[in-house]
Chain A
Amino acid sequence: MSNAISVQGLSKRFGDHQALDHVSFEVPKGAVVGLIGPNGAGKTTALKAILGLSAFEGAVEVLGRSPRSAPHQMMTSVGYISDVGILPRWLKVNDALKFTQAIHPQFNLEKARTILAKTDIPLNQRVKALSKGMVTQLHLALVLAMDVQLLILDEPTLGLDIVYRSKFYQQILNEFLGEDRTLLISTHQVEEIESLLTHLIFIDQGKIRLDAELDNVYSRYRAVDVVKSQIVAARALNPLSEQAQIEGACMIFDGVSAESLADLGTTRRVGIAELFVAMMSRDAKSTASI
């Protein structure tokens, strides 16, 4: 089994709204996958299906198990942070540690305490007395100490300031990634996780728009800061997007060789955020896959 997650033909409908429409993708073990999409694209719906938190059509397998058959057993190997503020407000930090230790077979209390010791979180405080950032730190400390194989994060840093966001991802990098551990993360703040990612999935209107290894994305899509005199020539190569700049335009090309772009201006690695915007702006009806 080389996949941590396998999703085949996943569909979910809320009344008239088709939230997910025959979505299929795989998350290999050890991968760090970014699930990127605009609001209402179906990211949370997909993650909830993977976690067995909602009914769905299609086939989902997580670490070799079906999430619908015994989700609580699956959760011994899976960690999940949905977003800030889902820890119960009445729970004391100490009690959260005590409870998790009692119910989670792999929970390492010492590790959780060590992680929390590096924060300003007082152990005798209730969650309601903590700041948003602290609540997220606490939740992350709990999850990291569970020693899970797969971590699923759904907008985990929404509403946090830049310092907490940076600390959050740094901690994931230091304490979680490696040893074949898999991370599936959905976020709007793409720039902050770009350096962590190995795979990228773009989702929009319940459909997968892009599903690729990041290296393949970089070799297929290129961004060029086109000089003014080359704009017409550049447009002839059918760019995915064009963004006017003071001295020319920034264009993103799909499948055009580096040699062909060399004379147009400065070629650089495409940013995930700008690629995402470019692809979402385009009238993309068909699923792109590499």
Chain B
Amino acid sequence: MNQVTTFMALLQRESWEHPNLIWRIPVGLMILNVVLAIASVIFGLEYFGTENFKFEFNSQDLLGGPGQAAATFFLLSYFFLSQMVAVGYLLSALYEERKDRSILFWKSLPVSDFQVVLSKALMGLVVIPGLYLLAAMLTFVLVTLVLSLGMTFLLPGIELFEGFLMAGLIVGGDSLRVFALQIVWGAPVFLWVLLVSGLARGQPLVWAMGIPLLVLVVETALLPEARVFDWFYAHATPLFFAGTWNPEMGGASIGLADGFLAAGIGLILFALTVFGRRHFHEI
């Protein structure tokens, strides 16, 4: 059997199990934002009246200020949500199948534990944030289109779409970079959550948060500073909001050594999760 076919089926399986988290929420948000944009054009202009409406920006102005702010708003809010959703997904990814005993069915099929864990890890680390990013970009384009068309038709002489779109492309381009970096940055935390999901006999959230907190307590009691916990906590914070945020470098960045450390620890946690599923226990 083709490995790619199997792997695609495993990803699709996740979307059947978690349709809300994986695609309904981002699509719903997209629709909501577009509807709000249409409503704001119609009702906003009706409220102000087209004669009294003064829009002081031109397309070039948008490129620097409000356009980028709008694009950043969509991308950041979707990005932050995607990280929360992905962690929630990973927390249940290997727990629920043991709780409802369906793992006995999945294990009766010719699919390796490595493939299963990989599909769940990629879904949480890459696919869910990626789909939300895509939804954010589409939302921005559609909202921009609605606003621009509305103003073009109702306020002749104002042409904004190009400026908005260019601003969106600048922000969007950077967000792709941050999206890629976040995969490495967040890997230790995301894969820790997946490991707990595969091992906990109950209350995976408590275990996922409790063990790092225990590390904090031990470090605080025995050592001058809680370096392990601080490192983990930093990586638990989405890159946009983490301490490495550096506006002069055009946003967030990761040091090379820290990147390798995060990837290495992520790989170890991944290997442990595969091992854990191999020696699973029903709950």
Query: Taking beta carbons and an 8 Å cutoff, which residues of A are in contact with B?
Result: 51, 53-55, 70-73, 75-76, 78-82, 85-92, 95, 98-100, 102-105, 139
Q: Considering the chains assembled together, what is the distance between the CA atoms of A79 and B105 in angstroms?
A: 10
A102 and B101 in contact (CB under 8 A), knowing A55-B279, A73-B110, A75-B109? no
Ordered by A's residue number, 9 sampled pairs between the chains whose C-beta atoms are within 8 Å are: A53-B280, A54-B279, A55-B279, A75-B108, A80-B104, A86-B102, A103-B9, A103-B10, A103-B111
Q: Considering the chains assembled together, what is the distance between the CA atoms of A251 and B1 in angstroms?
A: 56
Shortest beta-carbon distance from A106 to chain B in Å = 9
Candidates A53, A73, A102; contact of B5 at CB < 8 Å: A102
List A contacts of B9 (CB < 8 A): 98-99, 102-103
List A contacts of B101 (CB < 8 A): 82, 85-86
Q: Considering the chains assembled together, what is the distance between the CA atoms of A81 and B101 in angstroms?
A: 12
Contacts A76-B110, A99-B12, A102-B12 given; 4 further ones with Cβ under 8 A?
A73-B110, A75-B108, A78-B108, A104-B109
List B contacts of A72 (CB < 8 A): 109-113
List A contacts of B10 (CB < 8 A): 103
A103 and B16 in contact (CB under 8 A), knowing A72-B111, A86-B105, A88-B97? no
Q: Considering the chains assembled together, what is the distance between the CA atoms of A29 and B9 in angstroms?
A: 33
Q: Is B13 an interface residue (CB 8 A)?
A: yes
Contact B108 A51 (CB under 8 A): yes
Contact A91 B110 (CB under 8 A): no
Q: Considering the chains assembled together, what is the distance between the CA atoms of A54 and B280 in angstroms?
A: 8
Contact A103 B100 (CB under 8 A): no
* Residues of B contacting A: mostly: helix
Shortest beta-carbon distance from B23 to chain A in Å = 15
Q: Considering the chains assembled together, what is the distance between the CA atoms of A53 and B1 in angstroms?
A: 22
Query: Taking beta carbons and an 8 Å cutoff, which residues of B are in contact with A?
Result: 1, 5-6, 8-10, 12-13, 16-17, 97, 100-102, 104-105, 107-113, 279-280
Q: Considering the chains assembled together, what is the distance between the CA atoms of A79 and B17 in angstroms?
A: 23
Nearest A-chain residue to B12, judged by Cβ: A99
Contact B13 A71 (CB under 8 A): no
Shortest beta-carbon distance from B19 to chain A in Å = 9
A53 and B110 in contact (CB under 8 A), knowing A90-B16, A102-B5, A104-B1? no
Contact A79 B108 (CB under 8 A): yes
Q: Considering the chains assembled together, what is the distance between the CA atoms of A209 and B108 in angstroms?
A: 29
Shortest beta-carbon distance from A65 to chain B in Å = 12
Contact A103 B110 (CB under 8 A): yes
Contact A82 B109 (CB under 8 A): no
Q: Considering the chains assembled together, what is the distance between the CA atoms of A85 and B101 in angstroms?
A: 8
List A contacts of B5 (CB < 8 A): 102-103
Most buried by A among B1, B108, B112: B108
Contact B107 A53 (CB under 8 A): yes
A87 and B105 in contact (CB under 8 A), knowing A92-B16, A99-B12? yes
List the 3 shortest-distance A-B pairs measured between CB atoms, nearest first. A102-B9, A88-B102, A80-B108
Q: Considering the chains assembled together, what is the distance between the CA atoms of A178 and B102 in angstroms?
A: 29
Q: Considering the chains assembled together, what is the distance between the CA atoms of A54 and B12 in angstroms?
A: 28
List B contacts of A78 (CB < 8 A): 108
List A contacts of B108 (CB < 8 A): 51, 75, 78-82
A105 and B102 in contact (CB under 8 A), knowing A91-B16, A99-B9, A99-B13? no
Nearest B-chain residue to A75, judged by Cβ: B110
Candidates B17, B100, B104; contact of A53 at CB < 8 Å: B104
Shortest beta-carbon distance from B283 to chain A in Å = 13
Nearest B-chain residue to A85, judged by Cβ: B101
List B contacts of A90 (CB < 8 A): 16-17
Q: Considering the chains assembled together, what is the distance between the CA atoms of A88 and B107 in angstroms?
A: 12
Shortest beta-carbon distance from B65 to chain A in Å = 46
Q: Considering the chains assembled together, what is the distance between the CA atoms of A68 and B104 in angstroms?
A: 16
